[in-house]
Amino acid sequence: MAIVGKKAPYFSCTAVEGGGDFIENFSLEQFIGKKNVIFFFYPLDFTFVCPTEILAFQDRLADFEARETAVVGCSVDSHQSHWAWLNTPKDQGGIQGVTYPIVSDLSKTISMNYGVLAGDYDMDEEGNWTFDGVAQSYRGLFLIDKEGVVRHQLVNDFPLGRSIDEALRLVDALRFHEEHGDVCPANWEEGKDTMKETHESVANYLSKN
């Protein structure tokens, strides 16, 4: 389900921030008009690929903040599970030291609304609700601008970790486009040539590259 170009689905739920503080009624609305948001989903706490990504985002958190971009994680675990994992040392499989918010999507409605839940609810012949698939989130990542509009989305299967450098590159591309109006071609990085949206501009770019 593509939601690029649309308002990011609204939610309000409990998050854990700063390694232990519970925040009730946490919402991305707090960033409207102030910051872009990298909002990413991961399958489960206390797993294997997930801590490598979560800690990698923490390692580059200052780079996102310098770009006026907040980082927010989310999984279908409870806020108590998040708290326990955030207070488990790294050498014991934990993510101690992570300071950005991690949202609890225990109801799985956030994952459903963002199109990253690895399954669907259904009703059997007796009228009982069942779940077909895996009740976890794929590795979804969404870049949401200061107006609350989704400008980029990426969804990986469970075994495939994401690139934090690529997430930063996309934040840079969005900022450059918003400030200058230029569009950013393939493999664009800060300092490289961009293009105006004209055929002449494309021809000039291709002739130089």
pLDDT at 205 over 70: no
Q: Across the chain, what does the average pLDDT equal?
A: 91
pLDDT of residue 192: 60
pLDDT interval class at 209 (50, 70, 90)? low
CB-CB contact of 122 with 43 (8 Å):
no
Distances in Å between the alpha carbon of 196 and those of 146, 182, 185? 23, 5, 10
List CB contacts of 202: < 8 A, sequence separation 6 or more: 195
Q: Letter for the amino acid at 41?
A: F
- Which pTM value belongs to this model? 0.91
13-17 β-sheet, strand order: 21-26, 13-17, 102-104, 69-75, 36-41, 139-144, 150-156
Tell me, what's the pLDDT at 194? 65
What confidence score (pLDDT) does residue 35 get? 98
What is the pLDDT at residue 199?
A: 40
Which three-class secondary structure string do you get for the chain?
CCCCCCECCCCCEEEEECCCEEEEEECHHHHCCCCEEEEEECCCCCCCHHHHHHHHHHHCHHHHHHCCEEEEEEECCCHHHHHHHHCCCHHHCCCCCCCCCEEECCCCHHHHHCCCEEEEEEECCCCCEEEEEEEEECEEEEEECCCCEEEEEEEECCCCCCCHHHHHHHHHHHHHHHHHCCECCCCCCCCCCCECCCHHHHHHHHHHC
Given its phi and psi angles, is residue 194 left (phi above 0), alpha (psi -120 to 50 degrees) or beta?
A: beta
Please say if the pLDDT value at position 146 is more than 60: yes
pLDDT, greater one: 18 or 167:
167
- pLDDT category of residue 200 using cuts at 50, 70 and 90: very low
Active site residues: 50
What per-residue confidence (pLDDT) applies to 208?
A: 61
pLDDT tens, 25-63? 999 999 999 999 999 999 999 999 999 999 999 999 999
pLDDT at 113 > cutoff 50: yes
Mean pLDDT for 15-27 is 94
> Where is average pLDDT lowest: 131-135, 139-143, 196-200?
196-200
Residue 139 scores a pLDDT above 60: yes
Place of tokens 């918003």: 178
Domains located in the chain, CATH noted: 13-162 (3.40.30.10), 163-209 (no CATH)
| pLDDT over threshold 50, residue 203 | no
Report the Cα–Cα distance between both ends of the chain, in Å, rounded.
34
